[in-house]
Amino acid sequence: MFQVISGRSGPAARLLAPRGAVLVEAVRGRKSRTDPVAKSKQGRIKVPPPIDPVEMVVLKERYSEYMLIMRALRLEFKEEVLRKKYEEETGSLVAEKVRQEAQEHSALMAWNNQENLRLLKLRILRIQEETEEAERKKQEAAIEREREQQEFIREKEKEILQLQEDVKNFITLDNLDQRIEEALDNPKNYNFAIDKEGRVVHQTMLQ
């Protein structure tokens, strides 16, 4: 027969057991598929625990962030491993390539700075020309407005002088009789005729 020892008294039993005895330790394993349901669990219905919607949304967001972070870390580690492997395989070629890329980058940056300086000078010159052109147009517009204003003033002065001259010939109560006598003494005929040759004939005297 085999002697069975429990888990708690295992070391002491091994020391006290006779030399030829076979010790078998009792191990509690999983039930097989053919074993019946335990009496304490008969009739039990498994109901999943309730899920909080807010907690579910938060967990999904955190899980998405976690997956993104882990994917980025994996890619970063993979890139680092591949880079180290490539550097180990190529050796000095990588250093030479990096040095050439650094020199090319420095040359391109110097050319870029020179080009930016050239464009800055052209931009400043263009802005100055535009400012001068705008100032010139502004002065020309002011001169043109002044000229138009002076021309308007001269026209109005002429109108005023002409009106002052016309006032002298106005018919008033004081010279009404005199104007009537002058009109009777100097009759005017505004009728005219056109002959066959297209000439205009005025008749100045009434018949």
> What was the pLDDT predicted at 32?
84
> What was the pLDDT predicted at 33?
84
Q: Give the length of the chain.
A: 207
CA distance 178 to 51: 119
Q: Which residue has the tokens 């005219």?
A: 192
Residue 134, SS3? Answer: helix
- Taking a C-beta distance cutoff of 8 angstroms, is the pair 2, 22 a contact? yes
> What was the pLDDT predicted at 11?
57
pLDDT digits over 23-41, tens only? 556 556 777 888 888 888 8
Q: Which whole-number Å values give the CA distances from 28 to 10, 25, 121, 153, 199, in the listed order?
A: 15, 10, 89, 121, 145
Model confidence, pTM: 0.33
Q: Give 10-residue mean pLDDT values along the chain (207 residues).
A: 53 58 62 85 86 92 96 95 80 76 94 95 95 94 93 93 84 82 81 82 60
Residue 109 structure tokens: 């940056």
User: Residue 132 carries which side chain, given as an amino acid letter?
Assistant: E
> What was the pLDDT predicted at 88?
75
Nearest one of 165, 205, 169 to 189, comparing CA atoms? 205
> What was the pLDDT predicted at 145?
93
CA distance 149 to 156: 10
> What was the pLDDT predicted at 120?
95
